[in-house]
A and B are shown apart, each in its own frame.
Chain A
Amino acid sequence: MRPFSYTAPATVAEAVDALAASGPGTKILAGGTTLYDLMKLDIEAPAAVVDVHRLTEIAAIDTTDPGEFSFGAAARMADVADDPVLRRDFPALAESLAKAASQQLRNMATVGGNLLQRTRCGYFRGGPAFPCNKREPGSGCAALGGLDRGHAIFGGSDTCVATYPGDWAVALRAFDAVVDVIGPRGERTVAIADLHVEPGDTPQREHTLAGDELIVRIRVPVAPSSRGSTYHKIRDRESYAFALVSVAAGVAFDDQGAVEDCRIALGGVATLPWRCPAAEMVLTGERLTEESALRAGEAAFAGARPRAHNVFKIELGIRTVADALRIAGERAVR
Chain B
Amino acid sequence: MSAPTQRVDARLKVTGAARYGADLTSPNLAHAVFAVSTIGKGRVVNVETAAAEAVPGVLMVLTRFDASDLGSPGFLMGHGYGFQSLQPLVDDRIAYRGQPIALVVADTLIAATEAANLIRADYEIEPIAVALDAEGAETLSQQEAIPLPFLADIVVGDAGAAFDASPVRIEATFDLPQQHQVPMELIGGVVGWRGDTLVVHEGTQNAGALRGGLARQLGLDPAKIEIISPYTGGGFGQKNSLQPHVGPLALASRRLGRPIKFVMPRTQTFHQASFRPASRQLVRLGADETGRLLAAVHEVDQQTSRHDLFPALYTEITSRLYGIGQFRGRHRLVRTDVQTPGFMRAPWEQAAAFAFESVVDEIAYALGQDPVALRLANDADVDPVTGQPFSSRHLAECLRRGADMFGWAGRTHEPGSMRGADGTQIGWGVASGAYPASIAPAVARLSAAADGKVTVGVDGHEMGQGIRTAIVRLISEDLSVAAEDVIVYVGDTRVAPQHLTAGSWGTATALQAVHAALRDLRKRLNVADSDPVDVEALVAATGQATVDVEATTVAPGQPPEIIEQSRAGLVSFAGPVYPGFTAFSFIAHFAEVRIEPTTRRIRVPRVVSVVDCGRVASPVTAVSQVRGGVVWGIGGALRERSEVDPRYGGFANATMEEYPIPVNADIGEVEVGFVDEPDLLLNPVGVKGLGEVSMVGVAAAIANAVFHATGRRHRRLPIRIEDVL
Chains A, B in direct contact (C-beta < 8 Å): yes
Contact pick for A316, options B654, B657, B722, CB 8 Å:
B722
Say whether A239 contacts B599, CB under 8 Å: no
0/1 string, B95-111, CB within 8 A of A gives 1: 00100000000000010
**How close is A136's CB to chain B, nearest CB, in angstroms?**
13
- Range for the number of chain A residues in contact with chain B: 20 to 34
Say whether B643 contacts A147, CB under 8 Å: yes
Say whether B598 contacts A322, CB under 8 Å: yes
Q: How far is the CA of A129 from the CA of B268 in the complex (A)?
A: 13
Contact pick for A323, options B598, B643, B662, CB 8 Å:
B598
Determine the chain A residues whose CB is within 8 A of the CB of B648 once the complex forms.
129-130, 142
Determine the chain A residues whose CB is within 8 A of the CB of B665 once the complex forms.
237-240
Contact pick for A234, options B114, B599, B654, B660, CB 8 Å:
B599
Q: How far is the CA of A316 from the CA of B598 in the complex (A)?
A: 8
Q: How far is the CA of A127 from the CA of B657 in the complex (A)?
A: 16
**How close is B642's CB to chain A, nearest CB, in angstroms?**
11
Could you jot down 22 A-B contacts, CB within 8 Å? A1-B113, A120-B657, A122-B655, A122-B658, A123-B652, A126-B652, A126-B654, A129-B38, A129-B650, A142-B647, A142-B648, A146-B645, A147-B643, A234-B601, A236-B660, A237-B660, A238-B601, A239-B665, A315-B725, A316-B722, A319-B725, A320-B599
Determine the chain B residues whose CB is within 8 A of the CB of A120 once the complex forms.
657-658
Determine the chain B residues whose CB is within 8 A of the CB of A125 once the complex forms.
655
Q: How far is the CA of A127 from the CA of B654 in the complex (A)?
A: 12
Determine the chain A residues whose CB is within 8 A of the CB of B652 once the complex forms.
122-123, 126, 146-147
Contact pick for B639, options A129, A237, A239, A315, CB 8 Å:
A237
| A128 at the binding interface (Cβ < 8 Å) | yes
Minimum CB distance partner of A236 in chain B = B660
Determine the chain B residues whose CB is within 8 A of the CB of A6 once the complex forms.
none
Determine the chain B residues whose CB is within 8 A of the CB of A238 once the complex forms.
601, 603, 663, 665-666
| A186 at the binding interface (Cβ < 8 Å) | no
0/1 string, B78-116, CB within 8 A of A gives 1: 000000000000000000010000000000001001100
**How close is A255's CB to chain B, nearest CB, in angstroms?**
29
Determine the chain B residues whose CB is within 8 A of the CB of A146 once the complex forms.
645, 647, 652
Interface size on B, residues (CB 8 A): 35
Say whether B647 contacts A244, CB under 8 Å: no
Q: How far is the CA of A236 from the CA of B656 in the complex (A)?
A: 13
Determine the chain B residues whose CB is within 8 A of the CB of A316 once the complex forms.
599-600, 721-722, 725
Of the listed residues B114, B643, B658, B662, the one surrounded by the most CB atoms of chain A closer than 10 A to its CB is B658
Determine the chain A residues whose CB is within 8 A of the CB of B600 once the complex forms.
316, 319
Determine the chain B residues whose CB is within 8 A of the CB of A320 once the complex forms.
598-599
CB under 8 Å from chain B, chain A span 295-312: 312
Determine the chain A residues whose CB is within 8 A of the CB of B725 once the complex forms.
312, 315-316, 319
Minimum CB distance partner of B56 in chain A = A3
Say whether B114 contacts A2, CB under 8 Å: yes
Minimum CB distance partner of B267 in chain A = A126
Say whether B660 contacts A1, CB under 8 Å: no
**How close is B65's CB to chain A, nearest CB, in angstroms?**
24
**How close is A247's CB to chain B, nearest CB, in angstroms?**
10
Given contacts A147-B652, A234-B601, A323-B599, contact A1 B110 (CB under 8 A): yes
| B139 at the binding interface (Cβ < 8 Å) | no
Q: How far is the CA of A244 from the CA of B722 in the complex (A)?
A: 11
Say whether A3 contacts B598, CB under 8 Å: no
| B653 at the binding interface (Cβ < 8 Å) | yes
0/1 string, B336-369, CB within 8 A of A gives 1: 0000000000000000000000000000000000
Minimum CB distance partner of A312 in chain B = B722
Minimum CB distance partner of A3 in chain B = B114
| B720 at the binding interface (Cβ < 8 Å) | yes
| B117 at the binding interface (Cβ < 8 Å) | yes
| A42 at the binding interface (Cβ < 8 Å) | yes
Q: How far is the CA of A320 from the CA of B647 in the complex (A)?
A: 33
**How close is A320's CB to chain B, nearest CB, in angstroms?**
5
Minimum CB distance partner of B647 in chain A = A146
| A13 at the binding interface (Cβ < 8 Å) | no
Say whether B662 contacts A237, CB under 8 Å: yes
**How close is B41's CB to chain A, nearest CB, in angstroms?**
13
Of the listed residues B39, B599, B665, B666, the one surrounded by the most CB atoms of chain A closer than 10 A to its CB is B599
Minimum CB distance partner of A150 in chain B = B658
| A10 at the binding interface (Cβ < 8 Å) | no
Q: How far is the CA of A316 from the CA of B600 in the complex (A)?
A: 8
